[in-house]
Structure 1
Amino acid sequence: MTAAEAALDTEELREMIADVLEVDGASITPEIDFVRDLGVDSLLAMELAVTLERHYRVKIESHEIGQVRTMSDISALLLGKLRKPAA
């Protein structure tokens, strides 16, 4: 396990997403589509991005968060950001 993977606690991430989206954490499953199943719009996606940026101390561009539709997408995005060396 890499340091980035260790820093990304899946359960903590799930609860953070659920809190921002105002849904039960159990509903954030690997296969749920945030847009189709939970009605996440661009404003809510940006709110999620800001929350993730603050918590993980990364920069998430608007086009990146726009491509995120599942828990797996968020995990992959964050892992990519956390693996990059700090500038």
Structure 2
Amino acid sequence: MTIDAVTGLDREELRELLAETIDADVAEIRDGADFVESLGVDSLMALEVVVVLERRYGIKFAETEMRSVRTLESTYDLLCQKLRECS
């Protein structure tokens, strides 16, 4: 289990949220698995992922940041960064 010490963001909780949002098995959400290439996420589903993350964590992504929401690892890192900026 990985929890960011500053933000309290739990990587496994994020993995479960992403799996639920894109209707995938939690085991398929590997740290480096690309949502588009590995899991077949299309642009509409990718936008839904961003909206779910913004609502869940109370943050806003810039359009350029949305492009990095492609793997669990990059999403976790971006969320930690955004949550640190808010605290």
TM-score normalised over the length of structure 1: 0.86
Q: Structure 1 residue 26: deviation in Å?
A: 1.1
Cα drift, residue 64 of structure 1: 1.6
* Runs of 4+ with >4 A deviation: none
Distance in 2, Cα, partners of 1:62 & 1:46? 11
Question: What count of residue pairs does the alignment treat as equivalent?
Answer: 84
Given the alignment of the two structures, is residue 63 of structure 1 paired with residue 59 of structure 2, yes or no? Answer: no
Q: Which residue of 1 aligns with 2:44?
A: 43
> Once the two structures are aligned, what percentage of the paired residues are identical?
44
Q: How far off is 1:33 after superposition?
A: 1.0
Counterpart-to-counterpart distance in 1, 2:79 and 2:68: 13
Cα offsets for 1:40-60 (capped at 9, x unmatched): 121111100111111110001
Once superposed, what is the RMSD of the aligned Cα atoms? Answer: 1.4
Contact kept? 1:45, 1:66, Cα under 8 Å: no
User: What stretches of structure 2 of length at least 5 have no aligned partner?
Assistant: none
TM-score, structure 2 as length reference: 0.86
CA contact (8 A) 1:18 1:25 kept: yes
Q: Point out which structure has higher relative CO (alpha carbons under 8 A, 6+ apart).
A: 1
Structure 1 unaligned regions, length at least 5: none
The structure richer in helix per residue is 1
Question: What amino acid sits opposite 2:25 in the alignment?
Answer: D
Check whether the contact 2:50–2:69 (CA below 8 A) recurs between aligned residues: no
